[in-house]
Structure 1
C-alpha cells in the first residue's frame, strides 16, 4: 500500500479463519507469494466487499461477492501486487453498493480507491444507445489506464471470469459479450503481451459465439492419430539430444494449437483442418541471450530451416515487449516445425506481459513491456483529445489492435512499429502529428514515393514536408492507424472552421455595408450582448454559423446595427447583385462551407451565384441553371459571389458526346480526354441504336478554357458527331 491504511470505522474488520469460506482460502493460496500481513489485507477487503454486496446475487444464483474474489484469484495467478488484488475484490463496490470513493480511500488507501474508480463503468449516466455507453465506459477505462496500468489488469481479470461463467447469461447478451471479447479485450491482452489471458479469452469467446464449430475442432484436436504423437515424440527427442550434447541448459516444451488459433488460420489462409494441424510447434527456453542464438544454430543443424521464415524479435521486440527467435524447420515427412527460442525472463514477459513487472523478485529488473504499454496508451490519449465521439475513439483503438506489425527505421536509426498495411503517411503521424500534417512525400530506402505507399518491415523511411501542405480528405482513404485518422479528421475540422469563420466575416461585413456600418465600427458591448443573447461563446462561432447557413447575415447585421430591416423587393438576381455591391470571390479551397451544385456543375469562368443553405453553407450554381427560377422565391438567401483571379483544384462537369456505335469508339474518346489532361469520373450510355450512341462523360477540368480544350480534342475525332456540355 502507498501508506499504512487502517480500516474505516464503518467498514467491517477481517474475519477469523473459521469464518473464511473456501473461495477466499483459494484466493489466499493463489496469493502465496505475498507476505502474511498483505494476505490479511485480502481478507479484510473480502469482509468489506461481502458486507457491501450483501443480498446481491449473480445470474447463476451465487452470492455476488464470489465474482470479484474470483477476479482477484485470476490476477493472483499472474502474481500481481496486493493493491491490485484488493482493488479487484472491491472493483464493483462504488458502482453497485453504497460504498463511496472516500470510504475506500480511508480504509485501503488512495491508490486502491483510484483503481476501483478507474474500472467503474458509466451505467449511471444517460447515453443515446448501449453502444455509446459501452464506448464511453471503454474510453474512461483507457484514460484510467494512462494513470495506472493496473486498471486494465483488473478489467481483463473481470472479463475473463465473466467469460468463464457466461453460460448463465441469456443468448443475445452471451453473443454480444463474446463478440466484444474477441474484438476488443483479447486484442488488448495481446497488445499488452498477456498471452495466457489472451488465449483463454479467445477460446472462451469462440466457444460462446460458435459452440458447434468449437466442439468439432476440439474433438478433432483431442483425437489426433497415433502417427502424429509418434512424430512429435521423435522431433522432441532429436532436438533434446542435440541441445544436451551442446551443453545447453534448456526447457523444451511442445505447443498445442487451440481451437481458436486453428479456426482463425483456416479462415485467414483458406486451409483445411489437416493442413493447419500438419505443423508441429516447440518452444526452447534457455538461460541467456547468447544461448538463444546457440540453440538456434542447434535447431538448424537438426532440421533444415525454411528460407525466409526466420524472425528475430530479440533484436527488434514486438510493440508489446514480446521477445523471441522464431524459425520454421523442414521436419520429417515434410511437415513444418515452428520453433520459438527465448530466455526465462522473455518467457515470463511473453506469457504475462505487463503483469510480469510485478512478478519480478527483489533485485530483478522489469522488462520493457510496461514502458511500451505506456507509450501505446500515451498515443491513445493524444488521439482521444481530438476525437469527436467515444464510438469513434473505440473504432480507432480497434484499428490499433492489429496483431501483426511492420518494423521501420527512422533516419536516425530508431525503430517504429506500425500495424501491417500502414502507409508512409501513417509513419509520418507516428513520428509527430505536425510532421504528418505537413507531409508531401516520403523517401523509402532513399527512393522518393507517394504518401499512400504501403511500408514493409526493415525499410528506412524519411518524410518530406512543406510548410504550405495541409491534410486532405482523401488521406483518410489510405491511412491504417487510429492516430493518423484522428489527427487528419481533427485538422480538417480545424481548417473547415477557419474557412467558415473567414467566409462568415466577409458575408456579415457585406450585409453591414448595406446598413452603412461594419463589424469593426460596431461597439464591442453591442457585439458581446448579441453573442450572449444568441448563445454563442465567441464571435468566431457566430461567423462560422453564418457561413454554414444556420444564420442569415442580413438578419444578424440588422440586429447588430439595431436598425429596422429594409423591405427588399428585387425582381431578379441582377438586382440582388447590384444592391449588395461587391461580390465575394472564391478560390475553390473553401473547405466545408462552399459546395458546387450537381444540377448545373459550375466551373471557374462560369457566371455564378451562391445560395445560402442551412447546414451546407453556400451552394454554388451557374446563373443559367434551370433551378435559378425556383430560387427567386427566396432571394434573401442568394449571395453575390464570383471567381477569384487564382482558382485551384479540379471541378466536375458533364459532356454529352454523340459518336458512332461500334467497338473501339469509347476507347478513342477516353484517350482524347486523357490527352487533354482531364480525368474521367464516370461513363454512362444515354441512348443507343445500331448506328449512333449518346454517351454521358463525367470529367474533371480546371476551368472553362480547359473544358474547351477537351471539347476541341474530342470533336476532332472522326467517329464523334457532336459534343455538348450538360
Structure 2
C-alpha cells in the first residue's frame, strides 16, 4: 500500500461514512505523528507510516471511527511517552481502552514455550471477549508488518512468519475474514518456503501459457448463462493463492498437474432465491463434482458466513469452484465478525447476517475455563483451524462440529455425561463405528450405557478440544491407581540407575519441589507420562543428572560448516553408527536423516539442500532418543521386569505409552535414550529373548515432519 497522508485517510473513511468525525481523526493523526517523531522502522521510513497504513487497511472493512483512531494510536502507549490517561483525556475512554488492549496483545509472546504460549492464548481470548475490535487492529497491524517484512533480520522474519501461519492467519479465518487469512498465509509462505511458492507460481505461468487465461473465458460463460435466465448478478474469477494450492497438494498428496479446482469463481446475486436459481443453472450447464457441494445459506457458519459452494467440471474439463451468495452475504463473507462495526452512508450497516461479536466469542470460548493450559491451547487451535459440519440430534437440534468430527465428538457436544457413557451411534438410522467421520446434514443418535467409561483410544478418534479434555479427565480418574503403580516402578528403576533407593521422604520432597500436593500425585503423573522419573532425579540429585551440554552438535557429526547446527529428523531418528545425510532448512539449520529415510525422496530435485555428513568415531553418550514398539504378556509384574531389563541394558526410559490393551497382551510405545546403533541392537536382542515379550520393533514414522 503506498504511503498516505491525513487527507487521504479521511477520504477513505468518508467513502463509506460521510458523517465521520474528520476533526477527531485529524487530531489523532497529528498526535500520533508527534509522539512517534524521530522514530524509524527497519526500512528507514518514519515510524508513523506504519500506524497510518494499519488505519488504511481497516478502512477496507468500513470500520467505525473509534477503530480507525485506535489504529493511528496503537503503538503510542508502548513506544512513546504517551499514557492511557493522556489518550483518554484527548480521545475518550473507549479509544484509550482499545489502544491499551492492543498494547497488551503486542506484549504477549504467542510463539514461545508451550505453557507460556497457552497462558498467553488465554489472555488473547480474554482481550477478544472484552472488545473484538482490539483483535481487528492487531490483525491489520500484523498484515502490514508481513507486507513489509523484508526489512527485518532473516531469523526475525522466520519467527514472525511462523507465528502468523500458526496463530494470526487461522484466527482471521475463524473470524470470517477469509481474504485476510489468505494474504497472511501467502506472505508467511513466501518467507517460510520461498522455493515451494516460486515453484507454484512457475507452474501457474506454464499452465496459463499452455491453456491461455481461462479465467475470463469461464467468467464470460457464466455471465452468458445468467443473462439467458434473466438473473442479475456480478461474476468474478481468480486463481487460488499459492499457499492454498500448496496446502491442497500436501493434504491430498497430489502433483500440481493432478490438482483440481485451482480456480475459483464467485457469483453475487440480488436475492437468496436467485442464489438457488443460479446454482441450478450452473449444474445444468456443467457437470457437478460429487461430494463437493456445501450449502452455508441454509446452515450458516458461526461467524455469520453464508454462501453456496459447488465444484463443477468447466471449460475443457477444468474443475472450478463456484461460490454463490447475495451482496449482503458477500459483505459479511469479506468482513466476517467485523461486519458488526461496518458503516455505510454514515450509519452502521443493518446487515441481517452480521453476527453479534459477544455471542460469537462466547461460542468459541465456551467451557475453556474447565481445561488446563495445554488442553486450552489444543482446544483453541482446533477451533481456529477446523472448518465445520452441521449435524442433527434426534430432536432436530443442530449441533455444530469441526470437520473430521465423530459421533463421540457429537455426544460430548451435547453433554459430558453422554460422551462418557457413549457405546455406539446411529447415523441416519444406521449403526456405525464410533470412529466414523460425520458429514453435513446427517442425523446422529447416540447409544449410551451407564457402565461405560471413555477409552484411551478415543483420544486418537475425536477432533474437538472439548471431547479430548473430557476424555483425559475421565482417564485420569479411572487410571489413577494404575498410574501410581506404574509410576512407582518407573521411579524405582530410575533411582536404581543412579545408585539411589526410593523412599517416601524422597518422594514427598520431590513433590514439594515440583509444586505437587503429595507423593501419590507425583507418581501418578510419572505413570501417565506427564512427568518423567528423570525430572524427579534432577530435582533431588542435580549432580547425578546428565549434564545438559553432554552432546556437542558440532563434535557429534562431521561435515557441518562452522556456523551450522543439526537436529535429528523425527521421521527416522538416526543413531550414531548409521549412514546419514543432511538436508538444509531455512531457519532450522541442518536436519539429519538416515540414508534410507523415505522422506528424502521429497528432496530429490533439490540437490543444493543436501549435505554429506557422517557420525564421528568414538564413544557417544546415551542421549539419543529412539522409540520402540513392544508387545508384552498381560500378567502381574511383567511390565516392571521389562522396565528393569531396559535399565540394566544402560538405556533410560523417557516416555512410555499404552497403544493397545487386550485381555492377554499390552502393546507399548517406549521411548529410550541410547548411545548408538549397536546399543539399540543389544537392547532389542535382550528384549526379544525375554519370554514375556511377544514382539519388539523400532518405530520410524515417515509421516512425522520437521
How does the TM-score come out when normalised to structure 2?
Answer: 0.65
SS in 1 for 2:355: helix
The residue correspondences of 1:120-269 to structure 2 (distance < 5 A) are 120-121=103-104, 135-222=118-205, 224-225=207-208, 228-229=211-212, 231-269=214-252
1:381 aligned residue: 365
Report if the CA contact (8 A) 1:305-1:329 is conserved.
yes
1:636 aligned residue: none
Q: Deviations over 1:623-674 (max 9, x none)?
A: xxxxxxxxxxxxxxxxxxxxxxxxxxx8655499xxxxxxxxxxxxxxxxx9
- Of the two, which has the highest radius of gyration? 1
SS in 2 for 1:370: coil
When residues 158 and 308 of structure 1 are mapped into structure 2, their CA distance, relative to the original with a 3 A threshold, is same
2:295 aligned residue: 312
Report if the CA contact (8 A) 1:653-1:698 is conserved.
no
Aligned counterpart for 1:30 among listed residues 3, 8, 12: 12
The alpha carbon displacement at 1:260 in A equals 1.6
The alpha carbon displacement at 1:161 in A equals 0.5
The alpha carbon displacement at 1:369 in A equals 5.0
When residues 393 and 367 of structure 1 are mapped into structure 2, their CA distance, relative to the original with a 3 A threshold, is farther
1:681 aligned residue: 667
Distance 1:127 1:330 in 2: 42
Bigger drift between 470-479 and 134-143 goes to 470-479
SS in 2 for 1:255: strand
Distance 2:161 2:368 in 1: 26
Report if the CA contact (8 A) 2:129-2:361 is conserved.
yes
Bigger drift between 233-242 and 215-224 goes to 215-224
Q: Deviations over 1:11-45 (max 9, x none)?
A: xxxxxxxxxx9432332222122345522221222
Report if the CA contact (8 A) 1:286-1:342 is conserved.
yes
Distance 2:48 2:528 in 1: 60
SS in 1 for 2:230: coil
The residue correspondences of 1:266-277 to structure 2 (distance < 5 A) are 266-276=249-259
1:89 aligned residue: 72
The residue correspondences of 1:420-439 to structure 2 (distance < 5 A) are 420-437=403-420, 439=422
SS in 1 for 2:61: coil
How does the TM-score come out when normalised to structure 1?
Answer: 0.64
SS in 2 for 1:401: helix
1:365 aligned residue: 350
Can you give the 5+ residue segments of structure 1 that lack an aligned partner in the other structure?
Answer: 1-20, 502-533, 551-590, 597-612, 617-649, 657-673, 700-726
2:92 aligned residue: 109
Distance 1:206 1:218 in 2: 12
When residues 428 and 23 of structure 1 are mapped into structure 2, their CA distance, relative to the original with a 3 A threshold, is farther
The alpha carbon displacement at 1:393 in A equals 3.3
Q: Deviations over 1:151-185 (max 9, x none)?
A: 22111101101101101110111011111111221
Distance 1:132 1:594 in 2: 21
The alpha carbon displacement at 1:201 in A equals 0.9
SS in 2 for 1:338: strand
SS in 1 for 2:321: strand
Instruction: Let me know the Cα RMSD of the aligned residues.
Output: 4.1
Distance 1:409 1:278 in 2: 30
When residues 495 and 682 of structure 1 are mapped into structure 2, their CA distance, relative to the original with a 3 A threshold, is closer
Aligned counterpart for 1:696 among listed residues 678, 686, 692: 692
SS in 2 for 1:79: coil
Distance 2:212 2:109 in 1: 57
2:313 aligned residue: 330
The alpha carbon displacement at 1:413 in A equals 1.7
Can you give the 5+ residue segments of structure 2 that lack an aligned partner in the other structure?
Answer: 485-508, 530-535, 540-633, 642-659, 670-683, 696-706
SS in 2 for 1:58: coil
Report if the CA contact (8 A) 1:349-1:369 is conserved.
yes
Q: Deviations over 1:433-457 (max 9, x none)?
A: 4544554544433455565543333
Distance 2:273 2:437 in 1: 35
Report if the CA contact (8 A) 2:111-2:117 is conserved.
no
Q: Does 1:545 align with 2:518?
A: yes
The residue correspondences of 1:39-78 to structure 2 (distance < 5 A) are 39-78=22-61
The alpha carbon displacement at 1:132 in A equals 5.8
SS in 1 for 2:445: strand
Bigger drift between 487-496 and 299-308 goes to 487-496
The residue correspondences of 1:262-661 to structure 2 (distance < 5 A) are 262-276=245-259, 280-359=263-342, 361=344, 362=347, 365-371=350-356, 374-375=358-359, 377-389=361-373, 393-437=376-420, 439-447=422-430, 451-465=434-448, 474-489=457-472, 544-545=517-518, 547-548=520-521, 654=638
SS in 2 for 1:121: helix
Distance 1:86 1:492 in 2: 50
When residues 394 and 62 of structure 1 are mapped into structure 2, their CA distance, relative to the original with a 3 A threshold, is farther
When residues 498 and 56 of structure 1 are mapped into structure 2, their CA distance, relative to the original with a 3 A threshold, is farther
The alpha carbon displacement at 1:95 in A equals 2.5
When residues 148 and 458 of structure 1 are mapped into structure 2, their CA distance, relative to the original with a 3 A threshold, is same
When residues 178 and 685 of structure 1 are mapped into structure 2, their CA distance, relative to the original with a 3 A threshold, is closer
Report if the CA contact (8 A) 1:119-1:141 is conserved.
no
| Aligned pairs, number | 529
Distance 1:463 1:360 in 2: 45
When residues 128 and 303 of structure 1 are mapped into structure 2, their CA distance, relative to the original with a 3 A threshold, is closer
Report if the CA contact (8 A) 2:109-2:120 is conserved.
no
When residues 129 and 360 of structure 1 are mapped into structure 2, their CA distance, relative to the original with a 3 A threshold, is closer
When residues 114 and 412 of structure 1 are mapped into structure 2, their CA distance, relative to the original with a 3 A threshold, is farther
